[in-house]
Amino acid sequence: MKMYNGKKTTCLSSRGIVRATIFFLLAVCLMDVPAAYAQEAAQGKILILYYSRTGNTRMCCEVLQKELGADMIEIKDLKNRDGGWGFFTGALGSMFNVHTEIEPMTPDLSPYQNIIIASPIWTGTLSTAIRTLIDKNRFDNKRVVMFTTTNAAEKEKYIEKSKNRVARQGAQVRGYFQVVVKQEVDGKKVDRPKQEIIEDMLKLVPEIKRAFSP
Q: Which pLDDT tens digit goes with each residue over 39-79?
A: 444 458 999 999 999 999 999 999 999 999 999 999 999 99
The conformation of residue 82, written as its DSSP 8-state character, comes to: -
Whether residue 138 contacts residue 167, with contact meaning beta carbons closer than 8 Å, is answered with no
Q: Report the distance separating Cα 177 and Cα 57, nearest Å.
A: 12
Half-sphere exposure of 210 (CA within 13 A, CB side): 7
Q: To the nearest 10°, report the CA torsion of 127, 194, 116, 81.
A: 20
Q: In the predicted model, is pLDDT for residue 15 greater than 80?
A: no
| Total-model pTM | 0.78
Class of the CATH-defined domain 45-211: alpha beta
Is pLDDT above 70 for 33?
Answer: no
Residue-level length of the chain? 214
pLDDT in tens, 86-118: 667 766 666 667 899 999 999 999 999 999 999
CB atoms within 10 A of CB 14: 7
| DSSP secondary structure string for all residues of 191-203 | EPPHHHHHHHHHH
Residue 48 DSSP SS3: strand
Three-state DSSP at 129 gives: helix
Query: 49 or 31: which carries more pLDDT confidence?
Result: 49
For residues 124 and 87, the model is more confident at 124
Judge whether residue 85 has pLDDT over 70. Answer: no
**Span 154-162, mean pLDDT?**
95
- Domain spans in the chain, listed from the N-terminal domain onward: 2-36, 45-211
